[in-house]
Amino acid sequence: MSTGLFILLICLSTGVVFILLGFLIGYKNKSDLINGVDFSKIADVGKFCRTFGNGLILSGVFVALSGCLVYFAGTGLVSFLVSFFIFSSLPLVYFFYAKQKYAVG
């Protein structure tokens, strides 16, 4: 198995997990999947979940696309690692943004 194919499979499976979690959190309002949030300090839990879920979905799509770029376009491993790191950190950005935006008080 080539390295590009292995990276593609890992990125696709990781992207699917991110997209599935984003769908469950953002559109099915499964806020119990989010750990460490005091929801009594969140003004609108539905909008908080929607914002964070959209961030997870966007990250999943970008992670899958970065794997496709390695396999189909033949980009280097360093550019893949940089893009994977950036795209995997997107849910944290959306989490802190949603927490700041929908905080009570």
Q: Which pLDDT belongs to residue 82?
A: 93
Q: Which pLDDT belongs to residue 75?
A: 83
Q: Which pLDDT belongs to residue 22?
A: 97
* 80-89 pLDDT per residue, tens: 999 999 999 9
Alpha helices in the chain (DSSP H): 3-26, 45-68, 77-88, 90-101
* 42-83 pLDDT per residue, tens: 999 999 999 999 999 999 999 999 999 999 988 888 999 999
Assign 39 a pLDDT band (cuts: 50, 70, 90). very high
List, in order, residues 6 or more apart from 12 with CB less than 8 Å away: 64, 67
Assign 36 a pLDDT band (cuts: 50, 70, 90). confident
Q: Given the structure tokens 């970008």, which residue do they identify?
A: 62
